[in-house]
Chain A
Amino acid sequence: MTDTQWNVFEVFHQQARGEPHVHVGSIHAPDAEMALVLAKEQYSRRQACVNLWVVPAEAILATAYENDDIFERGTDKSYRESWGYKTPKTIHGDGTA
């Protein structure tokens, strides 16, 4: 049977200017502009939003879960963990968080 579903777009939601866009789910739409129109009600009707991104799901290249061992740490890498630093979510032009 032919798949009559529209294309899938992944939706990214931004709660306030300067905040990161966060992936909130996906949406079916015939094209990107319609995806934005439909995503607006789907993903911002309950929470604050200033900006939405939609990305064609097929544009995303993902690692395979069968290769998730590439993320494992074969030896102690704790020296990479930067405890004690302030890690802002956003960086402003003047370097302040």
Chain B
Amino acid sequence: MTFNSLESLKGTNRDAAINLLYRLADDELIIGHRNSEWTGHAPILEADIAFSSMAQDEMGHAQAYYQLLHQLGERDPDTLAFGRKPREYRCASLVCLPKGDWGFSVLRQFLYDASETVRLTALCGGSLVPLAQLAGKLRGEEKYHLMHGRSWVLRLGNGTDKSHAAMQAALDFAYPHALGLFEPTEYDEPLAQTGISPREDELRRQWESAVAPVLADARLTVPGEAKPFYGGRVGQHSDGLGELLESMQLVYKIDPTAKW
């Protein structure tokens, strides 16, 4: 099955694609915002510039996904980014967590971008052509994000006793949230059957194989019995997202029709 255009999606397949695009877009928007909170505060200038640039990349990816949603009849990208209530977002809990310390933020960035890499690789070969084409365009940036996250995780994991302990604590905390990136949805079957995207449990398996060797090289232990944080994909979020959105939407809400 191949869908050469967004318009060729009908019924459940269309609903499934819309849901998938919201998950992709909202993850990117929220982690982009969280990572942008380091602008001006990262440990050194070089790290500040790199992390801020990557935050801009993620915002750009979100915008591109929102644009596809707009073509599918959803509201315009600005309204989707800034005009929704917390329960309307489909992001996973991992991206909503406060930025924490630098070790946590780079670990989260690594875990998240590893999942993006797995997803984009799958979407590139997927049956929804406009999404496959977009995924192909975004892969280069995600490849760099993964190199960046991996480099930091390896150095902090293998750094001093203090940095190693901080990274292990960050992993223990973040890992169950990262598993929530692969929360199954009611659209798993239609997405897999149409070849638009693999099932979430398949993506999770690929992600675990991708992050495990890096975490082992960083002398970090993956928590054994991590219970995934689910709920984000159906709009159930912690208070963290509400607070983030209040801050992110502040200027937009003063005048939603303002031209920039």
Contacts and interface: CB of A to CB of B under 8 A. Distances in A.
A40 B46 contact: no
A27 B53 CA distance: 16
A45 interface: yes
Contact of B46 (A29, A33, A45): A29
A38 B155 contact: no
Contacts of B147: 37
B50 interface: yes
A38 B47 contact: yes
A33 B44 CA distance: 17
Interface in A2-49: 6, 27-31, 33-34, 37-38, 40-42, 45
Given A6-B44, A28-B44, A40-B144, A34 B155 contact: yes
A90 B147 CA distance: 31
A46 to B, nearest CB: 10
A45 B55 CA distance: 13
B44 A45 contact: no
B155 A41 contact: no
A30 B44 contact: no
B139 interface: no
A29 B50 CA distance: 12
Interface string B129-147: 0000000000000001001
A41 B53 contact: yes
A19 B54 CA distance: 27
B50 A42 contact: yes
A41 B151 contact: no
Nearest to A4: B44
B44 A37 contact: no
Contacts of B44: 6, 28
A34 to B, nearest CB: 5
Contacts of B46: 27-29, 38, 42
Interface in B65-90: none
Given A38-B47, A38-B50, A40-B50, 4 more contacts: A28-B44, A28-B46, A29-B46, A31-B155
5 contacts: A6-B44, A37-B148, A38-B47, A42-B46, A45-B53
Interface of A: 6, 27-31, 33-34, 37-38, 40-42, 45
